[in-house]
Amino acid sequence: MIETEAQARDWLRELPDCDDAAMLRLERLVELLREENQRQNLVSAASLGEVWRRHIVDSAQLLAHVPRGTSPWLDLGTGAGFPGLVIATLRPDCEVRLVESRKRRIEWLERAAHDLRLPHVKVHGARLQDVPSRNAAIISARAFAPLDRLLELSARFSTSDTIWLLPKGRSAKQELQMLRGWHHTFHVEQSLTDIEAGVITGTLQGSAKPVRKGKAS
Ligand SMILES: C[S@@+](CC[C@H](N)C(=O)[O-])C[C@H]1O[C@@H](n2cnc3c(N)ncnc32)[C@H](O)[C@@H]1O
């Protein structure tokens, strides 16, 4: 379990995806986030004190479940940049599509991707409900919507091969147990950043019920 900022940075340096250039990009992302957080409330001030563990590693740990070269990656409700911007920072050749509906957060994501020189990042500045369907190889979402609602909103971007990566914090097991009406291979992986948290991962084979339209949150 990663408990300190020093452990978080050491863990990142051991990642196959984290060469010197990637580490510099991550340092820059953290610097930009600290600056932007003074202008808008992207993450809590308390979590900024543990930004490497709480946000960077919490995002980067998802890469362990995705073979290199898998693309495109769709991140839903990216907000401050997690996990999508961290993924793009560590795998700059991967096409990463970030979906975010709030104007100031869209502008932040566009500015950060430009500053970090990540040409394969595409920011979809819109409600997810209004984003045109296109198959994704990976779908991630952290703190976006309850699992059932999340699937209703985003199953249309998934094929039976799409890898879903859903950091769900301490509710992971319960949300998965409560899930009804979907054919899937989901299971919960232990989070590296919180002993009580989990990441729901697996594939979605389809729905056994009609899919509703509506708001994410
Ligand atoms: C709680 S924040 C989480 C942000 C980020 N994923 C993280 O873990 O730090 C949820 C984000 O989803 C965005 N959001 C909510 N509903 C959305 C929708 N229907 N379409 C696109 N973005 C949405 C919000 O604007 C917000 O930035």
Beta carbons of 205 and 134 less than 8 angstroms apart: no
Pairing label, strands 204-207, 187-190: unpaired
- What's the DSSP call for residue 63? G
How many residues are recorded in the chain?
A: 217
**Cα–ligand 1 centroid distance for 141 (angstroms):** 9
Read off the pLDDT of residues 72-112 as tens digits, 9 standing for 90 and up. Answer: 999 999 999 999 999 999 999 999 999 999 999 999 999 99
Q: Is 82 annotated as belonging to a binding site?
A: yes
Distance (Å, rounded) from C-alpha 193 to C-alpha 54? 7
Q: Is 77 annotated as belonging to a binding site?
A: yes
When pLDDT is averaged across residues 158-167 and rounded to a whole number, the result is 97
Predicted-complex ipTM score: 0.99
Domain ranges (residues) in the chain = 5-207
Q: Is 48 annotated as belonging to a binding site?
A: no
Buried b (16+ CB within 10 A) or exposed e, 32-59: bbeebbeeeebbeeeeeebbbbbbbbbb
Distance (Å, rounded) from C-alpha 181 to C-alpha 101? 28
- Per CATH, domain 5-207 is 3.40.50.150: yes
Tokens of 214: 């509506």
Read off the pLDDT of residues 164-203 as tens digits, 9 standing for 90 and up. Answer: 999 999 999 999 999 999 999 999 999 999 999 999 999 9
Which ligand 1 atom minimizes the distance to the CA of 129? Answer: 19
Q: Whose CA is nearest to atom 9 of ligand 1?
A: 82
Mean model confidence pLDDT for the chain = 95
**Cα–ligand 1 centroid distance for 3 (angstroms):** 26
**Could you tell which of 57, 86, 101, 110 is best to mutate to test the pocket of ligand 1, judged by most ligand atoms within 8 Å of the CB?**
101
Q: What is the CB < 6 Å shell around ligand 1?
A: 77-80, 82, 99-102, 105, 127-129, 142-144, 216-217
Query: What is the value of pTM for the model shown?
Result: 0.95
